[in-house]
Amino acid sequence: MKRPKNRAFVRSDESYNFKRNLFGFVLSGLIGLVGVFQTEFFVSLLPSPSNAAIKDHIEKSEKIQHDQIAKSAKKWGKPQDGIEFKLFGDAQLKRLQEAKAILFDDNALQSELQNEFGASFHDVNAVVIPSWEMNPDNNELIGITTDGWRQATTAKGEVDVGGFTLRDRPFRTLVTLDGRPRLVLNPKAFESPKMLRLTLFHELLHAMNVPGFYPWPFTFAQNDLTYLEEYRAYVKREGLEGWHEASIWVLAVLVPWLITAWLGKLIWNYRKSQRQATDATCAT
């Protein structure tokens, strides 16, 4: 004959399961909420610099850079116009030129940038260099100042990003010797043709003096140009980020909220059984 379970132990187990499910319900709900913060959709809803403010920043930065170019020309001669690639191997140089050609030959993109910001990639005068060739001994060859090196030391360590840009801008110490922005590419940029084009597209916008901006510190899965509608539209149109956005919605939003819904149902059933037990006790 089966011995009946101790009812006190059963209630204790049920209470423990309820508390565990409640904790999981709250935690998974919060994870899903933070996941929403990582999406482009959420970033697009947040306040960001207007196109007028961006154009003003571009104009002020260009003035500083043009002044620097004019000063350096007197000392070292007029620098090369347009995009200059330095210190890359032949295979890397070929891939860079192919990625650049795709971006520069996209007339729709260049027209959109020109209409929105009064400039396009055709106006960019910059130098592209590899991060692995940067060291204090060749600062002058690369063309950055001591302050530029300090900034690069931090940025170069972020190996999970394709690159970064050093440029002279208002209210900041000069980082270049000749006024031309330096686009520094990390090895990650060369992982695939799409990654290289995305990195070059991103850094060329910065070289065009479009400022980086993070609308909210919790949007850490997005970058400093996601706020820009033109950036999001081009990346989506060309499929440069693959399943990045979809994976955020599935793994960081949908899955946690499905768990939340399942735990919510368990909590509801437990509370329902408790009410029924209370009603039965009162009836007797």
Q: Give CA–CA dist 186/130, Å, rounded.
A: 6
Query: Residue 14: pLDDT above 80?
Result: no
The pLDDT value given to residue 173: 92
The pLDDT value given to residue 259: 94
Segment among 93-102, 106-115, 260-269 with least mean pLDDT: 260-269
Alpha-helix residue ranges (DSSP H) falling in 137-254: 139-142, 146-156, 193-207, 229-238, 244-247
The pLDDT value given to residue 78: 78
Q: Say if residue 276 is exposed, middle or buried (CB neighbours under 10 Å; 0-12, 13-18, 19+).
A: exposed
Are 187 and 167 contacting, i.e. CB atoms less than 8 angstroms apart? no
Q: How confident is the model at residue 9 (pLDDT cuts 50, 70, 90)?
A: very low
Q: Which residue has the higher pLDDT, 102 or 161?
A: 102
Query: Residue 159: pLDDT above 70?
Result: no
Q: Which residue has the higher pLDDT, 157 or 129?
A: 129
Average pLDDT for 44-51: 92
Q: Give CA–CA dist 177/142, Å, rounded.
A: 9
The pLDDT value given to residue 234: 95
Query: Residue 243: pLDDT above 50?
Result: yes
Share of the chain above pLDDT 70, in %: 90
Amino acid at 191: E
The pLDDT value given to residue 26: 93
Query: Residue 10: pLDDT above 70?
Result: no
Average pLDDT for 122-133: 93
- List, in order, residues 6 or more apart from 139 with CB less than 8 Å away: 145, 146, 148, 149
Q: How confident is the model at residue 269 (pLDDT cuts 50, 70, 90)?
A: confident
